[in-house]
Amino acid sequence: MGAVTPPASLDDPSGNDFTSAMVFSHVYETPITRDPSTGDMVPALFARPLHRSSGGQWEGTVRSNLRLSDGAPVTADELAHKLTHLMDSEGMRFTADGEIIRVTAPDVRDLNARLSRRGCALGFARAGKQLGTGPYGVVEASPELIILEANRHYPSTPSIKRVEIHCFPERRGGKDKLIDELNHKRLDLTVDLARADVDQVNGMRKVFRPGASTCVLAFNTQGRLSKANHRRAIAKILDLHALSEVNHQNSVAYLARGVLPPMLGHPRANNLFAPGEGAAEIAGANFGSPLKLLRVWAPRSYNPEPAGTATLIAQQLVNAGVAVTHVTPKTPQDYQSCLDAGDYDLVLGGWIADTAEPLDFYEALFSAASIPSASNNNPNSCNMARWDDPETTALLGALRQSGSASLHQKIEDKIADQRPLVPLMYGPSIAIHGWHVQGFAWGQQPFPSFTELELAK
C-alpha cells in the first residue's frame, strides 16, 4: 500500500493523522466496532454488544481468550481499569466481576455506539511498548515503511497476512513518486490521492465515495477573532466558488452547503457572498498585526491544493483590507503543535468522517472536549475554532440523547450565525487498487479494512 504522509506516532492509539489512524484501526480495537460494510454494531473486546441489566446498568462479558499480539492475556480487571481511565471525563465507571464488566454511566442513548468511536481504541503497555488485540501487529516501523503482520492470537486469520505501507513524503518525491509506483505496479493500493491526480494512474481500478469530508476555514474564537461580528464579516468576504475552483474541475459539485458532508446528511447553511459589505464591517477592527493563517501541511481529500487555497484566501482578505501572514507547517507534527498551542487566528483544515454518525462529526469540530491541546489525547480533537459555547454544547447533548436528524439543522443554523468556522468544500474518498485486489468496498471508515481484502493468485 502507498501513502503520502508518514505516521506521526505508532505508540499512541489516539494518534490523529490519517496514516496513523489507518494503522491503529488494524492494531488496536475499540470495545465495540462497526461492521465495515453494514455499519452494524459488532462486539470486539466483548463477547456480544453491551446490554442493560434488569437494574438498568450496562454490562457485558469480556471476549474469551482475549490476548495481545505477543500472546499476553488481557484480564477483565485490566480492561475495566483502562476503560474507566478513558471515559472518566464522561462520568463512566467500569468494574469487573469475574469476566463480566458492569458500567455505571450517565444516561446515554447507546453505550455501544459511544464505545465504537475511534477514540476508544485501547493499547496496553507491555515491556515499554503499546500492543493491541486487533487482527494485525506492527513488526517494523519507520517514516518510510510500516509492516503489519497478522496477529496469530486474534480469533480469525485474515487472508492477507502481511501488509507493507510505503510512505512518500516530499523528501521521497511525494504524490508524484506515489503515482509512479502505482503505474509501475509496485503498489497494490492507495487511498491517499486527490481527485485531480487520479487520471495520472493507469491500469488500476478507481473507487469513489463522494462527500465523506469537509474542508473548513476555522476562526480562533479564543484569540483575536473572538467577536462574532468580525467572523461574520470575514465569512462574507470569502468567495467559496473561487476557492473550490482551485481544487476541483467541477467546482460546483464540491461546494459546501453545510458542515456535514453529504455522506452524513443534507442540512443547509446560508453562505452570503458580499465582499463589499464584509469589508465595510471589518474596517473598524484593529488587529494590531496581520492575522496568522495556518494551513494543513499536505494535500488532503477535502483540500487537494492547500497552498493554492490558502494563498487565495489571503488574497481575498487582503483585497478587503485585512492583512494576513501564512504559517506553513512541514509535517503533521508541526501542524498539530500549532493547533495545540492555539498559535493562529485562522486555520485552513478539515475533517474526514470516520464513522457514519453525524454526532461524531459535529463533536469533532464543535465539542469543547475536542479543543486541541498538548494534554488532550482525544483523536477527534479537531475543534480548530476552539469553540466552547453553552448553546452548542446543549444541542450536541440533545442530539446525543435523541439522535433526531431535526437537530442537525439547528446546529448548522447556530454555526452559520456565530461563525466559528466556514465550510468551504466537500472532499471525496478515493481508492485506487490493482484488479487483483478483491473485496474492496468503501465502508463506514475513511480507510480500507485489510481483513476484508484478498489477493487473487
Task: List, by residue range, all CATH 3.40.190.10 domains of the chain.
Answer: 1-27+134-204+434-457
CATH 3.90.76.10 domain range(s) in the chain: 29-106
* Superfamily (CATH H level) for 211-427: Dipeptide-binding Protein; Domain 3 (3.10.105.10)
Write the pLDDT tens digit of every residue in 37-64: 677 889 999 999 999 887 778 999 999 9
Placement of cell 498538548 in the chain = 374
Tell me: pLDDT of 110 over 90: no
Residue among 325, 232, 322, 324 at smallest CA distance from 285: 322
- Report the length, in residues, of the chain: 457
Domain 29-106 top-level CATH class = alpha beta
CATH class of 1-27+134-204+434-457: alpha beta
pTM above 0.85, yes or no: no
Model pLDDT, residue 360? 87
Instruction: Compute the distance between CA of residue 86 and CA of residue 83 in angstroms, rounded to an integer.
Output: 5
- Average model confidence (pLDDT) for the chain? 90
pLDDT above 80: residue 17: no
- CA neighbor of 419 nearest in space, from 293, 230, 282, 256: 230
- The tens digit of pLDDT for each residue in 338-358 reads 999 999 999 999 998 877 789
Around 62, how many Cα atoms within 13 Å sit in the side-chain half-sphere?
23
Q: With pLDDT > 90 as the criterion, what percentage of the chain qualifies?
A: 65
pLDDT at 117 over 90: no
CA dist 178 and 163 (Å) reads: 17
Indicate whether 149 pLDDT > 70.
Answer: yes
Structural element, H or E, at residue 346: strand 346-352
Q: What is the pLDDT of residues 381-395, one digit of tens each?
A: 899 999 999 999 999
- pLDDT tens digit sequence for 189-248: 999 888 878 999 999 999 988 778 999 999 999 999 999 999 999 999 999 999 999 998
**Where in the chain is CATH 3.10.105.10?**
211-427
Q: What does 178-227 look like in DSSP terms, one character per residue?
A: HHHHHHTT--SEE----HHHHTT--SSEEEEEEEEEEEEEEE-TTTTT--
